[in-house]
A and B are shown apart, each in its own frame.
Chain A
């Protein structure tokens, strides 16, 4: 199964129902290696739910998720993480009473498969700590490495969320509104990081983002979800210019924080 013949990630007719409500409706989409796809749509469109089915937090009602052509729909979230699907959450989701450093170190430890080691001192595994510190440096968190995650301001927690994702070194990186609620001077740190990942051209990035200027400057492609269905898919200028998007969402959205 040569990886080149398959897209890195693919969803086929991916669907989830909550009772009678179809939150994600038969979404088929392929994501190529090195691409950055922005996913936009109004609140409640199903973007986060779509992410949850790809990274395994929710089980799809129907359809498939494929990674390098392999069906991973039945795998648990941790199994998907080890296969290379990494996820940052819309609502900050950290280990609040552990230190900033430990939040990142745990992700590195997971990637290296060291979690079941019972007899080595974690504090003696210096390379994990060094690696975590490098990432904290890149996300401007190094000064606060020893504080608990809960002690960070909102923007700091968002950056830590991204640092944890990058620490996993996934093939597919999924960002769910990474800059939401950040002050203007904090946003560039995150965007630079995403730009850097994109610049490597080896990773596949999915980005949910409401800010149109951010989407325009980063994305190779935009897909639009509405009421759970994929309603537009194409290069940024084309999608943004399309009447359906202009009227229905982006006109309303442009003022959205």
Chain B
């Protein structure tokens, strides 16, 4: 049963199993374990980014295709929901229609990009995705009538997903059962479903071919796989899932703008998360996204505590001043790549 749910891809390491369980329990019960707006926001962000990074792993880690357009597809999903909710405020139909429209546009665009650039050398695909996503970013900020330009769009989600809605009057474990909670569980369950779906894709015969293509494209062709078809499908699937992740983020944030969806900074974050967690494993995406977002959201707090604890010692407090958090994030990143070149998952599985 569990084996089927995980598509036969068990963690194969005690340490990894424990960490994954901790993440699962932490996210599943986040509203109760970590009450408060900020921590719930962190948990929802982790859910969405796990999906986003895992869908990128389908391309980079499994197929060996480099794309810079992942945030574009993420953005298309988010803007789809945002624009539809502008048109039909607070409607479930807007959410549904927006997600589906985003999905369709993303897959169609991915297909066109793949069609025109995958046949040529792999590096060409990377360059085309970079160009198209840059153009898309400019387009999104220019078409301010539709997208709200640089300011983005703020909109209302259905009442059942907002804090004003009460499902039951009593509190559970001191937590109000309101629309905010429902919204979180919508994000959580949809994310979990998408991760399981990706896990199925990569462990199906199709996913095995992707790995073969990554390992040796020439040989994959020689044993009868038309690699361009497989790559194209992988690009489309990855874009589709990224788009759905964007839709979830749009529902959660009630805001969609270039900084939260399209920016290249997010693209780099996705890459870092994947490399830290471990490419070529969906679990790597889970670990990488979780650790990275936790570090980004709480490193500053930790450093703040540390800096004040060290009091007036020379130099040290200055070194861990909260303003230096990015520096330390960089150091953490370099250390993790140095010590775990195959990512944390690769390290855990090798060391079993």
Contacts and interface: CB of A to CB of B under 8 A. Distances in A.
A119 B218 CA distance: 26
B204 A122 contact: yes
Contacts of B206: 115-118
A121 B200 contact: yes
Contacts of A107: 223-224
B151 interface: no
Given A87-B222, A95-B215, 17 more contacts: A55-B222, A77-B221, A77-B222, A81-B222, A93-B219, A95-B212, A97-B215, A106-B220, A107-B223, A110-B223, A115-B230, A117-B206, A121-B8, A121-B204, A122-B8, A122-B204, A168-B224
Contact of B205 (A78, A98, A120, A164): A120
Contact of A121 (B4, B220, B224, B229): B4
B225 A110 contact: yes
Contacts of B8: 121-124
A98 B223 CA distance: 15
Contacts of B215: 95-98
Contacts of A115: 205-206, 209, 225, 230
B203 A121 contact: yes
Interface in B168-227: 200-201, 203-209, 211-212, 215-216, 218-227
Interface size class on chain B is 20 to 34
Interface in A160-194: 164, 168
B200 A81 contact: no
A111 B223 CA distance: 8
A99 to B, nearest CB: 11
Interface of A: 55, 57, 76-79, 81-82, 87, 89, 93-98, 102, 105-107, 109-111, 114-125, 164, 168
Contact of B208 (A77, A94, A102, A119): A102
Contacts of A87: 222
Contact of B203 (A98, A111, A123): A123
B7 interface: yes
B37 to A, nearest CB: 39
A215 B22 CA distance: 62
B205 A125 contact: yes
29 contacts: A57-B218, A77-B221, A79-B226, A81-B222, A87-B222, A89-B219, A95-B220, A96-B216, A97-B215, A98-B212, A107-B224, A110-B223, A110-B224, A115-B205, A115-B209, A115-B225, A116-B205, A116-B229, A119-B200, A120-B204, A121-B7, A121-B200, A122-B8, A122-B203, A122-B204, A122-B205, A124-B8, A125-B205, A168-B223
B77 to A, nearest CB: 20
B288 to A, nearest CB: 20
Given A93-B218, A95-B212, A111 B224 contact: yes
B338 to A, nearest CB: 21
B205 A114 contact: yes
Contacts of B230: 115-116
Contact of B223 (A119, A124, A125, A164): A164
A88 B107 CA distance: 37
A136 B205 CA distance: 20
A78 B212 CA distance: 14
Contacts of A57: 218, 222
Nearest to A83: B224
A129 to B, nearest CB: 12
Contacts of B208: 102, 105-106, 109, 122
A29 to B, nearest CB: 22
Q: Which of A89, A119, A125 has the most CB of B within 10 A?
A: A119
A93 B224 contact: no
B204 A117 contact: yes
Given A115-B230, A122-B204, A106 B216 contact: no
Contacts of B224: 78, 81-82, 107, 110-111, 168
A77 B227 CA distance: 11
Interface string B225-247: 11101100100000000000000
Nearest to A104: B223
A94 B7 CA distance: 25
B120 to A, nearest CB: 16
Contacts of B200: 118-119, 121
Contacts of B205: 109, 114-117, 120, 122, 125
